[in-house]
Chains A and B, each alone.
Chain A
Amino acid sequence: MDSKIPVTVLTGYLGAGKTTLLNRILTEPHGKKYAVVINEFGEVGIDNDLVVGADEEVFEMNNGCICCRVRGDLIRILGNLLKRKGKFDGIIIETTGLADPGPVAQTFFVDDDIQKGAKLDSIVTVVDARHLAQRLHDAPEAEEQVAFADVLLLNKTDLVTPTELALLETRIRLINPYAKLLKTQRCAVDLNEVLNQGAFDLSRIIERDPHFLDAEDDHAHHHEHDEHCHDEHCTHEHHHHHHDHDHGRHDVTIHSVSLTSDKPIDPEKFNSWMNEVIATKGQDLLRYKGILNMKGLEQRFVLQGVHMLMEGQPSAPWPATDKRNSRLVFIGRKLDEKALKDGFATCTA
């Protein structure tokens, strides 16, 4: 039995429709009670008796390690909320449009009390179909929010043409191949598709969707080079530094790399390679998820991480009918696809 309180993180650029979604979650009769952590610059009043304003205070743990940036205010607020067991069914954290989702996710990995009492259910990103292309162009935060998403609400689809929408979808898939993509108008979506997803619990996702990480990512990936070269800011040049704002514009630098193998993986070789990747590239790795066929293990080994913080454990057994393919997806900046592919290939048993 899992008595941990599920936490949904709601991100999205200003005006994308976050507040509309939040208000729907709080007012619709679903029989669940949520505590809500809103940012201090909230757009409208929220009618709920368990609302707390957060100030998005990020600090670095372990004496300044940048990959251990966590949200101090969340540690404090969640710590207090979690003492009240049984008073609500879930927690929703709204972040400002400018927030980097990394520290929010990392907070769930590093704090004792939060790990004991809560679990990150999913990161839900709301994007505005009409403005997303421009945001991806000029705001690094918008791109990060797409990259981090487990569930992506592509909202205001009525304001764009079908062709524009198709292009946007392709563009989103280049950044994030595995997020659940929901196309909406005025955030009209079945809340069961958004809340209680267990997206950070890979075992549960695989149970529901055995081919998670399988299908679409290859597809998206094959298109990557074409797509980006149409754009004048081609990502082949991986040396471009993301925080270089001198040009007054932002190049799309986040993309995904998907690795597969039909041979069993040697746990020791894999661990040592993965540790090396995390240690040297952790800062550029926004998220990664994997389902691995470890040698000698009858269960699927599932892992996921945010920057330098990784979790992995055996999950359900492989179904007898399935081929035991290992799959690992990285989402990040300046990913050296060839090096990752070669590295992963050395991990086979």
Chain B
Amino acid sequence: MHAQTTYAKQLALNENVLTVLFNESGTIAAIVLLDGTALLLNLESGEEKRLTLHAMGSPLAACVDCDGEGFLSTGDDGRLVRFAWFDEPTALAEHKGKWLDHVAASANGALRAYSVGKEVYLLGRDKPLAQPSSVGGLAFSPNGKRLAVSHYNGVSLWWTNARDSTPQTLLWKGSHLGVRWHPAGDYVMTSMQENSLHGWRMKDMGELRMAGYPGKIHSFEFSAKGKWLVTSGADQIICWPFTGSGPQGKPPMALGIPEPLPCTVVAPHPRDEMTAAGFASGRVILALLEDRLPVELLPPDSIPVVALRWAPDGRTLLSAKENGQVHLYTTESIMRATAQLS
């Protein structure tokens, strides 16, 4: 009998991948490539479209736009570009000769933010929000009322509706890279240059510090209901419990058998208590957020996994490797393959 693959579709794009995204309805997938183009997949019709986003450069960051239908990308060509299945790519902002390092959008606030070095722009406002040093990451709070900006020595929290607000500053020495909000807005977490995570509990500004990672934590995301913070950077998937009084003094849960190469990217399921994870070895796994053995979605082939994303309904998963190998998994394709194994 022919072995069933875990994936429903496979693409060989032969170009380095920045990230993969889904629109809100899960009908369109976008694979953003470092050659400045994006491949859009229409999952309903099976059609594909290749769009040029940054003709003279390479994208640095991308996210889903605030309408949930389109996507945003920022590039080293100084442009913020919106693109969608039905719209031609359009530049929403341009800063000649600059790198636009980060981008974020909020459905609730109908807001878009991007950063240029030490400045953060909210689209539609004339004055940028000045930061003390280069921006490491941007994240809107779940209700869209605040924007967290990570930089050296901490995070600045800006009110998004105030014209001339001063930020609330969360201080911790060192270089803060990515930043994330807890889904209920209870915590702000950052990844740091020193292979650790730092966090603040919003109600009392209590600080959290999670160290012990052998490498940089490029990917860290809260699980659907915020019970776990799922993280890359170690040889297993490291999950910190955020139930009750929070993770202080509790050991993290490590999922999977230790791998020879570190976990590079994690993607908690948008509804259920499980997570997908990719490794530098090329392996992709799916694990329940409990102490059970994960299911292998892709075997190792020594090509690092660089991107992993669920559609918002949790029925489709995309993985991408550094060399442009993309796999699309559906609930059905995974179930069929795993049923055959057992």
Q: Which residues of B contact A111 (CB under 8 A)?
A: 193, 216
Contact of B152 among A62, A72, A80 (CB under 8 A): A72
Among residues 107 to 166 in chain A, which have CB atoms less than 8 Å away from a CB atom of chain B?
111-113
Contact of B175 among A72, A83, A113 (CB under 8 A): A72
Q: Would you call B181 an interface residue if the criterion is a C-beta within 8 Å of the partner chain's C-beta atoms? A: no
Q: Which residues of A contact B16 (CB under 8 A)?
A: 83-85
* A329, B60: Cα distance in complex, Å: 42
Q: Which residues of B contact A241 (CB under 8 A)?
A: none
Among residues 104 to 162 in chain B, which have CB atoms less than 8 Å away from a CB atom of chain A?
117-118, 133-134, 136, 152-153
Query: For the side of the interface on B, what is the size category?
Result: 20 to 34
Interface of A is mostly: mixed
* A112, B280: Cα distance in complex, Å: 13
Interface of B is mostly: loop
Q: Which residues of B contact A297 (CB under 8 A)?
A: none
Chain A 194-227: CB-based contact to B (< 8 A → 1; otherwise 0): 0000000000000000000000000000000000
* A113, B97: Cα distance in complex, Å: 25
* A80, B60: Cα distance in complex, Å: 7
* A112, B18: Cα distance in complex, Å: 19
Task: Count residues of chain A with CB under 8 A from any CB of chain B.
Answer: 24
Chain A 56-82: CB-based contact to B (< 8 A → 1; otherwise 0): 010111111000001011011100100
A76 touches B101 (CB 8 A): yes
A-B contact count (CB 8 A): 58
A53-B97, A80-B60, A83-B16 as given contacts; A59 in contact with B194, CB under 8 Å: no
* A75, B194: Cα distance in complex, Å: 12
B193 touches A61 (CB 8 A): yes
A84-B58, A112-B216 as given contacts; A62 in contact with B134, CB under 8 Å: no
A72-B134, A76-B134 as given contacts; A52 in contact with B175, CB under 8 Å: no
A84-B16, A113-B216 as given contacts; A73 in contact with B34, CB under 8 Å: no
Contact of A73 among B97, B134, B215 (CB under 8 A): B134
Besides A59-B175, A72-B152, A76-B101, 14 other A-B contacts (C-beta < 8 A): A49-B56, A52-B99, A53-B97, A53-B98, A55-B117, A57-B133, A57-B134, A61-B194, A63-B174, A72-B193, A76-B136, A112-B195, A112-B216, A113-B216
23 pairs of residues in contact across A and B, judged by CB atoms under 8 Å: A55-B118, A57-B133, A59-B152, A59-B175, A61-B174, A62-B174, A63-B173, A63-B174, A72-B133, A72-B152, A72-B175, A72-B193, A75-B193, A76-B101, A76-B134, A77-B99, A80-B58, A83-B34, A84-B34, A85-B322, A111-B216, A112-B195, A112-B216
